Amino acid sequence: MDYSITPIAVSLTVNGQSQTVEAFPMERLLDVLREQLRLTGVKEGCGEGECGACTVVFNGEIVNSCLIPMAQVDGAEITTIEGVALADGQLNRVQQAFVEFGGAQCGICTPGMVLAAMNLLERNPHPSESEIRDGLAGNLCRCTGYMKIFEAVLHVCESRKEDTLPNSG
Amino acid sequence: MNDADKNLMGASAPRKEGRKKVTGAALYIDDISFPGMLYGVTVRSPLARGRVNNISFTGDLPWDEITKVTAEDIPGENYVALILNDQPYLAKDIVNHPEEPLLLLAHENKYLLEKARRSVRIEIEELPAVLNLEDSLNRKHVIWGSDNVFKSFLVNKGDVDQAWSRAAFVIEGTYETGAQEQLYIENNGVIAVANERDGVTVWGSMQCPYYVHKALVKLFNLPEEKVRVIQTETGGGFGGKEEYPSLIAGHAALLAWKSGRPVKVIYDRAEDMVATTKRHPSRTQHRTAVDANGKLLAMEIGFVIDGGAYCTLSPVVLSRGTIHAAGPYYSPNVRIRSSAVATNTPPQGAFRGFGAPQSIFALERHFDRVAKTIGLSPEEFRRRNFIRRGETTATNQVIQEEVDLSALLDRALNLSNYYEKRERFEKENSHSKIKKGVGFASFMHGAGFTGSGEVYLASVVGLEASADGLVRVLSASTEIGQGTNTIFCQIAAETLDLPYESIEITQPDTSVVPNSGPTVASRTCMIVGKLVESAALSLKQTLIGSGLLREGYSPAEFKQACADFHKRFGPLRATSKYQPPENVFWDDEKYQGDAYGAYAWAVYVAEVSVDMYTYEARVEDFVALQEVGKVINPVLAAGQIEGGVAQAIGFTLFENVVWQDGRMVNNQMTNYIIPTAADIPPIHVYFEENPYPFGPAGAKGIGELPMDGGAPAILNAIENATGISFTQVPLMPEMLMNGLGRSE
Amino acid sequence: MRAFIPGYQLITPESLDQALTLLAQEPGRWKPFAGGTDLMVLLEAGKLQHKNYVNIWSVQELHGISVTDSTVKIGALTTYSEIQAHPVLQLEFRMLCIAASETGGLAIQNRGTIGGNIVNASPAADSPPALLAYDAQLELVSTKGGRRIPYSEFHRGYKEMDLGEDELLASIYLPRSDTKLIQYYRKVGTRKAQAISKVCFAAVADVRDSTIETVRIALGSVAPIPLRCKATESFLEGKLIRESFIELAQSELGREIAPITDVRSTKEYRLQVSQNLLEEFLRSFNTLRYESPISL
């Protein structure tokens, strides 16, 4: 085995597109997404897994991309905020609700918050308010006081109850 | 909202840039890069105060490839132009606080650059430092000017001294508040392009492009037109990006100037927390005289804030804190002495509320103490002393607007089931390890700059309509999450009888937009929004006056008129400049007169629980009732209140800056904790609307208000729960334990 | 980012054997790297001293939970999310599930591993007190084979462990109990979610006819290591529960723990709250004998 530290080739699928990137083994997934793949919707807020601004969906689970070294990314399937709007460019339901209900203010936590909310609703389509609180507790927002975010998520749940059509939101 | 809507002001138009934000398309400064761009970092002082003897570059690094900037490289003035111009861009011989910038480095490889930053050796001789407010006041060492005092105010109304002997009660108290980090989720950052030929251009995360502009003009000694400042999408500010961007923008520009390359400086979280401004720590002393009927006779208030090593905005923070110190009450005699003092900590700066949360905390805690002492309920004591129309504030401002604080209080107490809870908790607490309580605070917040501030600012807003009928608002007022873009478009659309969608906002760029003043002081909606309204009116009148349009026009007719106007007369543009309301007087020397054009009035009620096993206090429920004039956008307005209340909860129960030798040592989000989604109680927001004639459609300011009332309401509730009167925030569980222990 | 990223190596072995061989070849050169939720934080802060890591995240042998009649075996790389979702753990080892649910936010729980939580050896970690109270055992493996030790003997001093440079923590064994134990777990961190504990208290007890037959108590954040409080346990065991014992037991606990003041809390607070939680634990016997009085 060659132990010298050189960039490694990492294959990954991002927002449905397969690609291979070169990166140092300990380079953060966050930096590769932002700088190499220009997916700047992934934000950096703290660099220590505390704020959730860098949240992406990684093999179906939300993760903090600032805490994932590229050596652990090979073969991964990743979704970023850039990959969640509907095919025709329309906002998905969660995004739409965030706009309508004031869930986004300064917007820096929003991509991570939207992904966390979508992931929450996938795991639990009808969360209680306390489940919403716990489910989003890893994503810090300094603007909203969270109330409008809860309202947005609750609205998505309610509109889903009324609407039987499948929707990727 | 596709049709022209007569009632757009008052409707919850969706956030103008909402789509960009929920799709990740909004570009913040760190999302932007330029070809050939270098990264810049700051080498900082390791000590609170000292003399720099030598800086050397060690280690196996390509130092000749790395751009280095010291104070010697500064082409113009080595100070951040603001109020007193005492803060250097780069310290030269003496450092006055930990993390003070000494040297700048730039290189294209950010990993290498970080290695370089760590390989700079600074030889520094320690000088005695002053690290807290008391030592500064006592002049343990003189570290600034002749007496450590940046600014002092004296507000005098009536004759306080003759009141004490007549009083049935004289009640004293001392109250303290700690530093608070703004903790916008987007750290400070800028990109600069700078050279002698083109001048200096800076893009960045900021609240006040023209502050940065003013500072860069001095730093580079350039004509104004050679400096251009552009605000990029800004991930929160809360005051933290009011004055600080002038410093970081200068740093990036100096590196760009020297290297000839674009330079990006982005702070990481640890640097942003340890090096940038915070809310001023404060100490307030109250002495209050009350007559036998519970009416205020005199209030004597001493208010001191810790400004850190340099003046920055401390005089203005002090001013607002001073004026708000006597609250929404009538007292015939008031004396307020206040000062902002220097310590060898990083300079403190603007943070939502701007001095008012500190002095209002003290007052609203103190008034619960006064009420208790004289045997009245907290609500009854306040009812007897609320200011009424025609009465005067501490600065002798006559309240002209209709205000009924007793009714506001009653409504807030009813909305929160205050009486029922007080009764129930008293019963339940005796046999529970969880003690519950409810408390409130009543307060006001002045909107806009203090006194003659708005007159000096003389803000200007422009509106232009293109040939195809698209209207653009030109202002330097920034969108930092609070909703500037949205409300400006609502105001312009309704005034012009156009649909919301046909109005756009021009990105704040000092080469394009007029100076509408800084985005601070709850002034954007009330002051600048009014200018948007009057510019829109003037644009409309231009078209009507030119005979191209008639009243009652449709959007299509407006579009046609714009096309015709462009053909005949060229560009269609209207501007509006601030005009103070008539009969407003302010004496800056004596600090007397009309401190603010308008006040928002509020009563906040907090319900808390205190766990006697862990001494953890939690806010269980929160009612925020306020009168803010006309509410332009109910969703955004409620969002402002909820966000401010959440920050106030953090300020009160979670956010503790741990200082060591003048430096914040818990400068990580892990150790400086802000409320998560799981920590915020239901926040019930209610508005009363009493239109203010000089705001757009009657709107007053709103942004800072919700920061003011949370801390005293929560501590009043904790006293109700535990019987202990705490006088300090943040009230961490450790302090709560100590307080409860003392009472046993 | 305060680290020189090109200076760090993180290689991915193809199997457990290969990982162990690597660790054995040049003892001390390589250290294991699991979910990264602790090490990446140090890296970002420029505080990750060691430079060479073996990426064990993809070593399948170290993942997963298996249950026998007498034990639950948890692979060292089992994430906090997997722990919370496991039905047997939910039913019988609820304190561990709560600890997992209170460690960071969901994104952390999806990557953070129980093994990492143990060998990171932070005295403030959330799961060790629960594991100590459950009397867990650890299985350590190396090219020389495996060994099993009581978890209570694993931590020896601040960040010092009974773990060879060539060894990996492979799994954690939890003994299943026939008797229904009283379980008490409480993490005190000021904030409801994503807090780092100031005090973490985990305890189990078997109480019969008002007599404490068995009790195991462990605390986090009150000593250089996650601490099993055996002196307090011996004081309590075999005793009839009486009001007067509470204070004596609290004194015993006070002698046994050694909290300090740091950026998160004070020595006095940690001491007092530890003693208070012991009181809450003991008082819970009367009212909630067969229900877990776990506070959420």
Q: What is the pLDDT of residues B295-339, one digit of tens each?
A: 999 999 999 999 999 999 999 999 999 999 999 999 999 999 999
pLDDT tops 60 at residue B148:
yes
List C-alpha distances in Å: B109 to B59, B63, B115, B396: 17, 13, 10, 60
Distances (CA, A) of B235 to B59, B179, B214, B413, C2: 37, 21, 23, 36, 22
Average pLDDT for residues C125-146, to the nearest whole number? Answer: 98
* Chains touching C, CB cut-off 8 Å, 3+ pairs: A, B
In this prediction, residue C290 carries a pLDDT of 38
Q: Does C214 touch chain A (CB under 8 A)?
A: no
- Residue whose C-alpha is closest to residue B564's, from B549, B579, B545, B574: B549
CA distance A35 to B713: 46
Beta carbons of A145 and B24 less than 8 Å apart: no
Give Cα separations from B617 to A63, B622, B638 (angstroms). 31, 14, 25
Residue C165 token pair: 């440079």
CA B230-B236-B237 angle, 5° bins: 75
How much of chain B is in helix, strand and coil states, percent to nearest 5? Answer: 30, 25, 45
Cα B249 to Cα B247: distance, rounded to the nearest angstrom: 5
B192 has pLDDT over 80:
yes
Place of tokens 């605000």: B231
**Which chain B residue is nearest to residue C2, measuring alpha carbons?**
B114
Residue C244 confidence (pLDDT) = 86
- Tell me the three state secondary structure of residue A152: helix
Asked if B730 contacts B711 with a C-beta cutoff of 8 angstroms, the reply is no
> In whole angstroms, how far apart are CA B658 and each of B98, B132, B206, B448, B671?
14, 13, 27, 33, 9
- Give the whole-angstrom CA distance, residue C136 versus residue C118: 12
Quick check: B1 contacting A, CB < 8 Å? no
Cβ distance B643 to A145 less than 8 Å, yes or no, reads yes
Tell me the per-residue pLDDT of B630-673, one tens digit each, with 9 for 90 and over.
999 999 999 999 999 999 999 999 999 999 999 999 999 999 99
- Identify whether B98 is preceded by a cis peptide bond (ω within 30 of 0): no
Mark out the alpha helices in A65-123 (DSSP H runs).
93-101, 110-123
A146 at interface of B, judged by CB pairs closer than 8 A: yes
Closest residue to C6, CB basis, from A24, A62, A64? A24
Q: Which pair of structure tokens corresponds to residue B205?
A: 């995360």
The Cα B609–Cα C21 span in angstroms is 55
Query: What would the pLDDT profile of B372-413 be if each residue is shown by its tens digit?
Result: 999 999 999 999 999 999 999 999 999 999 999 999 999 999
Q: Two tokens at B260?
A: 């000839």
Chain B residues with CB under 8 Å of A145 CB are 639, 642-647, 680, 683
- pTM for this one? 0.97
Rounded to an integer, the average pLDDT of A102-131 is 97
Positive or negative: CA dihedral A164, B1, B5, B11: positive
Residues of chain B in contact with residue A91, where contact means CB-CB under 8 angstroms, are 19, 22-23
- Please check whether residue C120 touches A, CB under 8 A: no
**Residue B404: φ, ψ to 5°:** -130, 85
> Is the per-residue pLDDT at B2 higher than 80?
no
Is the pLDDT assigned to residue B736 strictly greater than 60?
yes
C-alpha B302/C-alpha B325 separation (Å) is 9
Name the 3-class secondary structure at A8: strand
| CA-based nearest distance C50→chain A, Å | 13
Q: How many CB atoms lie within 10 A of CB A40?
A: 22
Which among B734, B738, B742 is the top mutation candidate for probing chain C, defined by the most C β-carbons within 10 Å of its own β-carbon?
B734
Disruptive mutation site among B16, B28, B37, B185 for chain A (greatest number of A CBs within 10 Å): B185
Interface of B with C (CB under 8 A): 110-112, 114-115, 118, 268, 270, 433, 612-616, 618, 653-654, 658, 665-666, 668, 670-671, 673, 675-679, 732-734, 737-738
Q: Mean pLDDT, to the nearest integer, of B408-420? A: 98
Average pLDDT over residues C39-61: 96
Residue among B604, B335, B597 nearest B443 (CA): B604
When scoring C22, C29, C40, C42 by the number of chain A Cβ atoms within 10 A, the one with the most, hence best to mutate, is C40
Mean pLDDT of chain B: 97
Which H/E stretch holds residue B301? strand B296-306
The helix (run of H) or strand (run of E) holding residue C161 is: strand C160-161
Of residues A3 and A16, the one with the higher pLDDT is A16
Cross-chain Cβ contact C104/A63 below 8 Å? no
Chains that touch A (3 or more CB pairs under 8 A): B, C
Instruction: State the average pLDDT over residues B666-686.
Output: 97
For residue C290 the two structure tokens come to: 């067969």
* Predicted local distance difference test score (pLDDT) of residue B5: 58
Looking at chain A, which residue has its C-alpha nearest residue B186?
A45
- pLDDT score, position B6: 66
Exposure pattern of C106-138 as b/e (b: 16+ CB <10 Å)?
Answer: bbbbbbbbbbbbbbbbbbbbbbbbbbbbbbbbb
Predicted confidence at residue A169, as pLDDT, reads: 40
Smallest Cα distance from A33 to chain C, Å:
15
For residue A138, which residues of chain B lie inside 8 Å, CB to CB?
A: 676
Q: Is B655 on the interface with A (CB under 8 A)?
A: no
Best C8, C40, C192 member to test B by mutation, with max B CBs in 10 Å, is: C192
| Separation CA B216–CA B222 (nearest Å) | 8
Question: Do C198 and B733 lie within an 8 Å CB cutoff?
Answer: yes
Q: Would you say residue A162 has pLDDT above 80?
A: no
Say which DSSP state B105 is in. E
The tens digit of pLDDT for each residue in B86-136 reads: 999 999 999 999 999 999 999 999 999 999 999 999 999 999 999 999 999
Q: Is A61 on the interface with C (CB under 8 A)?
A: yes
Q: Does A22 touch chain B (CB under 8 A)?
A: no
CB contact under 8 A, C268 and B675: no
Q: How distant is the alpha carbon of residue B55 from its chain centre? A: 37
Contact criterion met (CB below 8 Å) for B182 and B238: yes
Contacts of C277 in chain B (CB under 8 A): 613-614
In the residue annotation, B704 being an active-site residue is answered as yes
Can you give the C-alpha Rg of chain C in angstroms? Answer: 19
Higher per-residue confidence, B4 vs B289:
B289
Question: What is the pLDDT averaged over residues B508-517?
Answer: 98
- Biggest CA-to-CA distance, chain C: 64
Residues 6+ apart with CB under 8 A from B453: B521
B236, pLDDT greater than 70: yes
Amino acid making up residue B706: P
Is the model's pLDDT at A166 over the cut of 50? Answer: no
Q: Any CB–CB contact under 8 A between C276 and chain B?
A: yes
B65: CB partners within 8 A, 6+ apart: B107
Burial B173-187 (b: 16+ CB within 10 A, else e): bebbbbbbbbbbbbb
**Residue B174 β-bridge partners:** B285
The confidence band for C295, taking pLDDT boundaries of 50, 70 and 90, is very low
pLDDT at residue A2 in the model: 60
Kindly state whether A26 is in contact with chain B, defined as any CB-CB distance less than 8 angstroms.
Answer: no
Whole-angstrom Cα distance, residue B260 to residue B67?
10
| Residue B64 predicted with pLDDT over 90 | yes
| Average pLDDT, integer, range C138-160 | 97
pLDDT value of position C289? 39
Residue C85 CA: distances (Å) to CA of A161, B731, C88: 26, 37, 9
Q: pLDDT tier at C292 (50, 70, 90 boundaries)?
A: very low
SS3 breakdown of chain A: % helix, strand, coil, rounded to 5? 35, 15, 45
User: Do residues C101 and C82 touch, judged by C-beta distance below 8 A?
Assistant: no
Q: How high is the mean pLDDT of chain A?
A: 94
Residues contacting residue B539 through CB under 8 Å, at least 6 positions apart = B463, B465, B471, B496, B572, B573, B574
State the pLDDT at residue C293. Answer: 39
Q: d(Cα A108, Cα C247) in Å, to the nearest integer?
A: 51
**Strands lying side by side in the sheet with C145-150:** C65-67, C71-75, C168-175, C137-142, C145-150
Strands lying side by side in the sheet with C52-55: C9-11, C52-55, C31-33
Instruction: Give B-chain residues touching A81 at CB under 8 angstroms.
Output: 22-24
CB-based contacts of B479, cutoff 8 Å, min separation 6: B16, B17, B233, B234, B485, B505
Pairing outcome for strands B149-157 and B333-341? antiparallel
Q: Which of A26, A61, A79, A115 to mutate to test the interface with C (most CBs of C within 10 A)?
A: A26
Which chains reach chain B with 3 or more Cβ–Cβ distances below 8 angstroms? A, C
Q: Which of B12, B236, B683 sits opposite A143 (nearest CB)?
A: B236
Q: How confident is the model at residue A165, as a pLDDT?
A: 44
Given B196, B704, B734, B744, the catalytic residue:
B704
Q: By the CB < 8 Å criterion, does B645 face chain A?
A: yes
CA distance linking residue B654 with residue C103, whole number of Å: 18
- Positive or negative, the CA dihedral B653, B657, B658, B661 is negative
- Provide φ and ψ at B152, rounded to 5°: -135, 150
Q: Which two tokens stand for residue B740?
A: 């409860």
> Is-contact B242 B478, C-beta < 8 A?
no
Mean pLDDT score, B425-452: 96
Q: What is the arithmetic mean of pLDDT over A83-103? A: 95
Q: Are C276 and B673 a contacting pair at CB < 8 A?
A: no
Mean pLDDT of B160-165: 97
A55 near A112, Cβ under 8 Å?
yes
Summarised one tens digit per residue, pLDDT across range B248-305 is: 999 999 999 999 999 999 999 999 999 999 999 999 999 999 999 999 999 999 999 9
**Nearest CA of chain A to the CA of C247: how many Å?**
36
Please answer yes or no on whether A102 and B480 come within 8 Å at the CB atom: no
- Which amino acid is located at B744 in the chain? E
Say how many residues make up chain C.
Answer: 296
A83 interfacial to chain C (CB closer than 8 Å): no
Chain B residues 672-691 with CB within 8 Å of chain A: 674, 676-678, 680, 682-683
Reply yes or no on whether the pLDDT at B744 is more than 90.
no
Share above pLDDT 70 across residues of chain B, in percent, rounded to a whole number: 99
Structure tokens at B582: 């008539």
Distance from CA of A168 to the nearest CA of C (A): 21
B593 φ/ψ sector (left φ>0, alpha ψ -120 to 50, else beta):
left
